[in-house]
Chains A and B, each alone.
Chain A
Amino acid sequence: MAPPAPPPATAAVGTELPEWRQPITQEQVAAYAVASGDHNPIHLDPEFARAAGLGGTIAHGMLSMGILAAYVGAWAGSAAAVTDLRCRFAGMVRPGDTLICRGRVAARDPAGGTITLELEATTESGTRALNHASAVVRAPAGEED
């Protein structure tokens, strides 16, 4: 098991967050459709997705982004500590893939009390799912560099 990452209070610029591996299942995609309200059939109906030229259902891009948000929120200690999150949807993720999230502390702003993370999400086969991804995390009060 990988050692735990230093928490936001002590993580220096360059610190790598331990990667997460999240298997993606069709049941999960269906649950995400209900939770988000996005019932586009390319995520839910294999026949529809094949007819659309996708070769089968694909996961919502926002599901991958949500997992990346959870990755950051878990490291930060609270979802509410994540004040900004952005990404580009670079490639498709399919049920059966495993999404791998990685992050690195890119900058600290002690005056503003924030930490900026560089992030990415790929599949086990190497497909870039999310790139140009970053997050801003509120650092614990009283923290000094």
Chain B
Amino acid sequence: MGLSPDCVGRRYSAPAEIVDPARAAAYGAALLPAGTPDGRPAPGGPRDTGPLPTYAAAYLLQPIVTQLFQDDSVGLDLPRLVHGEQSFTCHRPLRFGERLHPEGVITAVETRRQLDLLTITATARDDAGEAVVSGTTLFIIRARTAQD
């Protein structure tokens, strides 16, 4: 295994983010440039009550994963890393304008056949410390071969 086995439990945090309706609208427009098939804008924009759960990719996942990727002590072989699985859970409705505090923790590393697997769970908390959105990411790192 190229991954450091003692990295489980390692924590990351990122600066607080405001859930910005304009940024959420840009996110929705990137998903559906022409809107929905029946001519509506993508859900999760300013006309909606809150953003899509996957908008957490922007304010939660990306800031935390960037830190993970910069942590050389984890032993990630980035050119051989692929995003294997992703989940998002909203613990309560997310509102535009609220401030969220991103944090993440490596919850598992293991090796199966020629693959290293790393799981990181990221959570966005509100000012009161309550979890609002959680995302769990599985990264798969292929082993290097003699041809590499």
List the interface of chain A (C-beta within 8 A of B): 18, 20-22, 25, 27-28, 31-32, 34-38, 52, 61-63, 65-67, 69-70, 73-74, 76, 78-80, 82-89, 132
In the complex the two chains form, is A82's CB within 8 Å of B30's CB? no
Main secondary structure of the interface of B (DSSP, over half): mixed
In the complex the two chains form, is A31's CB within 8 Å of B33's CB? yes
Query: A21, A69, A78: which contacts B54 (Cβ < 8 A)?
Result: A69
In the complex the two chains form, is B40's CB within 8 Å of A74's CB? yes
In the complex the two chains form, is B43's CB within 8 Å of A20's CB? no
In the complex the two chains form, is B43's CB within 8 Å of A78's CB? yes
Q: A73-B52, A79-B48, A82-B52 are in contact. Are A31 and B86 (CB under 8 A)?
A: no
Give the interface centre of B31, B42, B44, B62 by most chain A CB atoms within 10 Å: B31
| Binary A-proximity of B30-62 (CB < 8 A = 1, otherwise 0) | 111100110010111000111111110110011
Query: A78, A87, A132: which contacts B48 (Cβ < 8 A)?
Result: A78
Query: B30, B43, B83, B84: which contacts A35 (Cβ < 8 A)?
Result: B30
Query: B37, B86, B93: which contacts A80 (Cβ < 8 A)?
Result: B93
Any A CB within 8 A of the CB of B16:
no
Any A CB within 8 A of the CB of B115:
no
Query: B61, B66, B83, B90: which contacts A82 (Cβ < 8 A)?
Result: B90
In the complex the two chains form, is B31's CB within 8 Å of A67's CB? yes
Nearest chain-B residue to A53 (Cβ)? B79
Nearest chain-B residue to A29 (Cβ)? B30
In the complex the two chains form, is A88's CB within 8 Å of B30's CB? no
CB-defined contacts of B52 to chain A, threshold 8 Å: 66, 69-70, 73, 79, 82
Taken together as a complex, chains A and B put the C-alpha atoms of A43 and B85 apart, in Å, by 18
In the complex the two chains form, is A86's CB within 8 Å of B57's CB? no
| Binary A-proximity of B83-121 (CB < 8 A = 1, otherwise 0) | 111111110011000000000000000000000000000
